[in-house]
Amino acid sequence: MVGGRKRPDIHKQKSHCFCWFAVSIYIHNSMAKEVANPDEEVVLGEQIGNVRLITLNRPRQLNVISSKVVSLLAEYLEKWEKDDTAEIVIIKGAGRAFSAGGDLKMFYDGRNIKDSCLEVVYRMYWLCYHIHTYKKTQVALVHGISMGGGASFMVPMKFSVVTEKTVFSTPEASIGFHTDCGFSYMLSRLPGCLGEFLALTGARLNGKELVAMGLATHFVPSDKLPELEKRLISLNTGDENAVKSTIEEFSVSVQTDEESILNKPIQFLVHLQAINNRPVLFQGFCGRDHKITCKFMEAEASKEGNAWIAPVFKGLTRSSPTGLKITLRSETQIGFYVLYGGVRVSIPEGSLQEVLFDEAAANYH
Angle CA 85–90–96, to nearest 5: 155
Q: Which of 169, 268, 266, 172 is nearest to 215 (CA)?
A: 169
From 87, 103, 180, 354, active-site residue: 180
Catalytic status, residue 214: no
Name the residue with higher pLDDT: 363 or 343.
363
Q: Which of the 8 DSSP states describes residue 283?
A: H
45 pLDDT exceeds 90?
yes
Rounded distance between C-alpha atoms, residue 94 and residue 229, angstroms: 13
pTM of this structure: 0.78
User: Is there a domain that residue 235 lies in?
Assistant: yes
Q: Is residue 62 part of a domain?
A: yes
Nearest to 173 by CA among 154, 190, 196: 196
DSSP 8-state code for residue 182: T
User: Is residue 340 domain-resident?
Assistant: yes
Inside any domain, residue 7 = no
Between 332 and 152, residue with greater pLDDT: 152
* Per-residue pLDDT, 338: 43
Q: Do 191 and 269 contact (CB within 8 A), yes or no?
A: yes
**How far is CA 70 from each of CA 17, 33, 41, 293, rounded to the nearest angstrom?**
24, 13, 12, 35
Strand 51-56: give its sheet, edge to edge: 43-48, 51-56, 88-93, 137-142, 159-162, 218-219
Q: Is 97 among the domain residues?
A: yes
Residue 136 scores a pLDDT above 70: yes
- The confidence band for 210, taking pLDDT boundaries of 50, 70 and 90, is very high
Domain that holds residue 245: 18-364
pLDDT digits (tens, 9 = 90+) for 266-290: 444 333 333 334 444 444 455 556 6
Domain count, the chain: 1
Tell me, yes or no, if 87 is annotated catalytic: no
Residue 271 covered by a domain: yes
> 4 in a domain, yes or no?
no
User: Which one, of 173, 171, 170, 175, lies nearest residue 293 by Cα?
Assistant: 173
102 is catalytic: yes
Alpha-carbon distances, residue 321 vs 122, 178, 251, 315 (angstroms): 25, 11, 41, 12
> 137 or 285: whose pLDDT is higher?
137
State the chain's maximal CA–CA distance in angstroms: 60
| Catalytic hit among 3, 93, 101, 102 | 102
Percent of the chain, pLDDT > 90?
39
Answer yes or no: is 11 within a domain. Answer: no
Q: Kindly name the residue from 172, 209, 229, 331 that is annotated as catalytic.
A: 172
The model's confidence at residue 323, banded by pLDDT at 50, 70 and 90, is confident
149 among known catalytic residues: yes
CA atoms of 57 and 60, how far apart (whole Å): 9
Q: Which of 3, 93, 101, 149 is catalytic?
A: 149
Sheet holding 205-206, edge to edge: 97-99, 145-147, 167-169, 205-206
What's residue 13's pLDDT?
43
**CATH code where residue 139 lies:** 3.90.226.10
